[in-house]
Structure 1
Amino acid sequence: MSDFVLDWEREARTGVAEAVLCEPKTPAQIAAILDTAATSGARLLLTRLAPAQHDDLPEVLRKRLDFDALSRTAILGGPHPGPPVEGALIVAAGTADLGPAREAARTLAFHGHAAPLIADVGVAGLWRLDAQVGRLRDARVIIVAAGMEGALFSVIAGMVAAPVIALPTSVGYGVASGGATALNAALSSCAPGVMAMNIDNGFGAAAAAIKILGIARR
C-alpha cells in the first residue's frame, strides 16, 4: 500500500493544483511520487526541494525536472499550456528576498500566470520604488517579499488599489528574529488591505494571488 495519495482533482476543486512539499520527505519518497505522476502524464509542482535532495534523485527523474535551486522548486511536465494570465506582480525588497519571491513566481507560472518580478526596491532607497509606480498601479494583485523590518508592505499598500499580499522573509539578524519582525509588521500594517502570509511561504502567497485573480475573472 502506498504511503501517499496524490490529489489530482485539487485544482478543479480549489483553483490551486496539487503540490508536493519535499523538505520533510526522503529522496526515495520524492522519487516514488514523481514516478507516479510521470506514469499518469501529470504535471507536478515540487516545493522546498533542497539541492541535496534533488541530487539524490535518480538521474532519469532529475532530467525530467525543471529545477530552480534559489527557490527550491521543481516542475515535472513542462510549462503550462496556453497564453499566460496577466495581473499578478511580485516585488522583492532586496536581492536576499529572491528565494521566497521566486517560489511565488514559479508557483504562479506553473498555474499559467505571468509572474513578472521587480527586485531590489526596498525602503532603504525609495527612489528605486518610485521608478516602478506605473507597473505597481497596473497590477491587479501584488505579492511583496520583504524581511528586516518589513516596511515595504505598508509603503506599497498605501500607493495602489490592488490587494497586497505580504510575504515576510527570514532575511535579517538580531531582533529581525528570522522573519518574525517582518511578519508582525505585515499583521500590524496601518495601510488597509494587506494580507499576511507565513514567513518564507512563497507558495502560499502565489496561491492567494491565484484565487483572487480567479474570482476576478469569474
Structure 2
Amino acid sequence: MTGMEINSEIKKLLDCVSQNKTSVSDAINELQHLQSADLGYAKVDLSRKARNGYPEVIYGAGKTAEQIIEIMHTLKKQGENVLCTRVSPEKYHEIALDEPNVKYFSEAQCVQLIQHEIQLTSDYIAVVTAGTSDMSVAEEAVATAQMYGNQVKRIYDVGVAGIHRLFEHLDEIRKAKVVIVVAGMEGALVSVVGGLINAPLIAVPTSIGYGTNFGGVTALMTMLNSCASGITVVNIDNGFGAGYSASLMNHLGTKENLD
C-alpha cells in the first residue's frame, strides 16, 4: 500500500467514525494495522512515506540476513523501492539468494530493491570528499540521494593538503543546489568549501585519521565550530543522513516528486 493509499484509507476510516459506522476502539485497531506491521522483532513503519515523504529505510547493521529479508518483503508489499544500509557482503549474498533483483553497492554497503523507475531531478547534489579514504561514507550518501531521485555529481579527493585540486572543480560545485562535504582528519575542507559557495552545505565528519582524530570527533568539532555560514553537520560517518537531508533540500519547490 502506497502513502497516498494509506491516507485514503485513514480518511475513509475517520468518515466511518464520524458517521457512527465504526467504533473508536475498532478505528484505533485499524489505524495500528495501517501504520505498522509487527514482525515480533521489528515493527515495520508502513506510514512513514505518508508522514515524511520517503518510506522506512532498513538499517542492516546488527540485523541478521533473515530479518532484513523479512522486513524487505514487508516494505516490498507497499509497492515502494526499498533501501537497506550497512549491509556486509556476506549478508548481501544471503539476501540476493532470496531476492535476486536487489542491487548491491559494495563501496557504500547499501542494498537497493527497485520496483518502479526513479526519475532524477534536473538540479544536482555535489558530493565532495577530502580524500579517497572518505569514499565509503560518500558513496553511502550517493546511494541514498540517488535512491530518492536526485542527480548526483562526485568530486573526490580534493582536500586542503592539495587545495588547487578543489579549485579545479569549483564551478561544478557552485552550480549544485546542495553540497555534501565528507572529510576526516581535521575536517578543514568543510570551512573552505562553505566560504566559497551560496548553496546549503551538509558536512559529514569521518572516522578517518590518526590518533588525535579520535575516531572522527576532531573533524566533527571542527565542522560544528566552522565560521562559514550555511553549514549543517551530521554525525560521524553518517553518509545516509547526509544523502537523505540533501534529497529533501534538493526537492524543495518540487514536492510533487515525492508522491
TM-score scaled to structure 2, two decimals? 0.78
Of 110-119 and 46-55, deviating more is 46-55
Pick from 15, 32, 36 the counterpart of residue 53 of structure 2.
15
**Amino acid of the structure 2 residue aligned with 1:44:** V
**Amino acid of the structure 2 residue aligned with 1:215:** L
After superposition, what is the alpha-carbon deviation per residue over 1:28-81, rounded to whole angstroms, capped at 9, x for unaligned? Answer: 1112112323444431000011112223336132x2211111111010125743
Pick from 78, 81, 89 the counterpart of residue 51 of structure 1.
89
- In structure 2, the partner of 1:157 is 194
Deviation for aligned residue 1:216: 4.3
**Amino acid of the structure 2 residue aligned with 1:91:** V
1:15–1:210 contact (8 Å) kept in structure 2: no
Unaligned runs of 5+ in 2: 1-37
- In structure 1, the partner of 2:148 is 111
Pick from 46, 62, 65 the counterpart of residue 27 of structure 1.
65
Of 158-167 and 46-55, deviating more is 46-55
Corresponding residue SS for 1:207: helix
Of 82-91 and 13-22, deviating more is 82-91
1:93–1:146 contact (8 Å) kept in structure 2: yes
* Mapping of residues 65-80 of structure 1, within 5 Å: 65-77=102-114, 80=117
Aligned-pair identity (%): 37
- In structure 2, the partner of 1:179 is 216
Q: Distance in 2 between matches of 1:216 and 1:182?
A: 33
- In structure 2, the partner of 1:192 is 229
**Amino acid of the structure 2 residue aligned with 1:160:** I
- In structure 2, the partner of 1:201 is 238
1:17–1:111 contact (8 Å) kept in structure 2: no
| Closer, same or farther: CA 127–193 of 1 in aligned 2, 3 Å | same
- In structure 2, the partner of 1:214 is 251
Q: Distance in 2 between matches of 1:110 and 1:88?
A: 13
* Mapping of residues 92-107 of structure 1, within 5 Å: 92-107=129-144
**Amino acid of the structure 2 residue aligned with 1:59:** L
Runs of 4+ deviating beyond 4 Å = none
**Amino acid of the structure 2 residue aligned with 1:168:** P
| Closer, same or farther: CA 78–92 of 1 in aligned 2, 3 Å | farther
Q: Distance in 2 between matches of 1:180 and 1:18?
A: 28
Q: Distance in 1 between matches of 2:44 and 2:157?
A: 37
TM-score scaled to structure 1, two decimals? 0.92
Q: Distance in 1 between matches of 2:116 and 2:171?
A: 29
After superposition, what is the alpha-carbon deviation per residue over 1:107-160, rounded to whole angstroms, capped at 9, x for unaligned? Answer: 111001111111111111011001011011111110000000000000000000
Matched residues, number: 217
RMSD of Structure 2 on Structure 1 (CA): 1.8
